[in-house]
Structure 1
C-alpha cells in the first residue's frame, strides 16, 4: 500500500500541511522541522507526487531543449551530448527535468516549440543554436516564456539571454597561431553560412589575414552550403590550386576528421604536407594519428550557464537579459607543424 502524506505527518508528529510545506521547501518552516520530516519521508520511502504539485502551482519543473536538427542527427555530433551534460547537471541541481525536441525538420521543430509554449509543457527553453532569420528564435522572443540561447543571436543580442564564446576573436587567434608557425596560405573550411557561429569564425579568419598583410583569397575558403554531398571533390579542388594551402582551419573537429580522410585518399600527409586544426576538442581528437590540434570551447560550461540563465528568469521574471562569454583555449597537438 502506498505511503501517503498523512502517514508521513503522523509519523513525524506534524500536520499534513506542514509536510506539504516541507516538500515545497517553504522558508517559513524551520530547518529542524524540515530535517525531521525529510528523515521520516526517507525512512518510510515516501516520494512526493510532483506532477500533482506542479499542476496546482501551474508549472512543470521541466525545461525544453531545442536542437538545430533532429535528435537522430544531432547525437552524431559529440557537441550535443557534451552540452546536454552541462544542461543536465544544472537542471538536476535546480530540480528540473528535460524535454528534448524530436522534430526532424525546421518546420517540425518550430511547431514543437509552439506546442511547448502554448501548451505550457515546459517552464523555459534552451535553444542550442543561433542562425539568421530563425522563426523559432523570433517566436520565443515574442512569447513570455523564459529562454536562453547557446550562441550569439544575430539580431539585437543584448535583448536575449545567451551564452557564447567570442568566436570572432578565437578564430582570429587560431589563424594567428598558424601564421606564427610560418603559414601564409591558410584555408578555411566553414560551416553553414546561415549559422552565426560560422559567420563569426569566418570574420575572425579574415581579420587575422588582414592584420598580417595576407590577402584574402576566396579560393581558400570552402563553405558547407556549397560542398554538401561533394565534400571530397571540394577538398581535391582546394589542394589542386596553383598554390595549395599549407594549413587548414576547419569549422569543428568533425569536419577536420573528414578532411583528414580526404587528404589521405589524395596521399597528402598531415602535418608533413598540410597542417590542420579544428574546434570543439572532442574526446576522440587526442587519439587520432596524428592527434588533432583544436580549440576547446568549454562545451559543458555553455550548457551549464545557459540553464542557469533560464532558471534564473523562471525564478524571477524581472531578471533582465544577460550575456555570458565562456572562454576558449587552443590545444596544440601533432596535426600542425612549423614551416
Structure 2
C-alpha cells in the first residue's frame, strides 16, 4: 500500500508494526465443572479421573491463561493508540482547514526524498548476495524505488506524528501491563539479600543462545537496583539441548566448592562448547579442585537436582528459556532491560504502599 493511496490507513498502521503473539482466541465458553474424582476414561480395569487429566495439562493451562491476559491488554493498547492517532491527525487537519489525506500529502508525502541511484543499487546488490534470483536492475528499479520511498515515508510520518502528539499534550493513562502472579519457589543458587523486596527466579539453559543473550541484561537490571533484588537461578535444560543437563550439573558441582556463580558465568561465556572435557577445563579456569569436580561430574550425583529445578519450571508453566519470574510475574524470552524494570518498579511501588499502611 502506498502512502498516497490510504493516508489514514497508514497512520493507523503505525501502532501495528509488531510481530503478532500466538495466543488463545478470546471468547471461549466457560469450562464445564467436573467432579475431580469423576472418571473420564477407562482402559481395561484402569480408570483415568478428571483430576489426573487436569494435572496433565496444568502447565499448558497456565501458559494459555497468561497468553490470553497479555493478548487482551495488547488489543486494548493498540486500540487506544489508534484512537489517539485518529484524533491527533483529525484535530490538526481541522485546524489548518484540510482533510487528513491532504495534510499527510503535504507534510509527509511531498517531503519524502527520492532515493539515489546508489541506494537503489545497494539494495539490489544486497538481495542478490542473499541468493534472490532477480531480473536486471533496470527492470526492477521502479519497484525498488517504491519500496525505499515507502520505508522513508514511514520514518517521515512517524517523526511528524511524534511532533503532533507532543503538541497535543497526549498523556496515556492506561496502566502498564503487569503479568499475573505465579507461585514459584525461590529455591536454588542465589545472589542478593534474602529479604530483598524483589526476587527474580530465572529458569535458563546453558546451551540456549537466547539465555546467553539475556545474561548481560540480567546483570544490568540487578546493578540498577542495588540491595533491592535477589536473583535465583534454576535449571531448565531444553529437550533439544543435549549438552545442557551436564553443564547444569557442572555448575552445581562447582557450587559444592563455593564457585557456583563463577562456573555459571564461565558456562555462559563458552559459546556452546559444553562437552564434558570442556566442562572439566572450565573447572580449572575458575580455580576448582579438579579431582573433586571430576568425581562429582562423572558420578551424575547432581542430575536429580537439575531435574528438580526443571520440574518446578514445568509446574510454573515454563515452556521455553529464558523465563524470569519477578515476584512471580513472568517475563519470557530475552527481553530488553526496560521490560524488567517496568515490572520491578511496579513491585517496588506496591511494596512501598504496603509499608506505609
**What range describes the TM-score normalised by the shorter chain of this pair?**
under 0.3
TM-score for the superposition, normalised by structure 1:
0.27
More helix by share: 2
Q: Going by fraction, where is strand more abundant, 1 or 2?
A: 1
The TM-score with structure 2 as length reference comes to 0.26
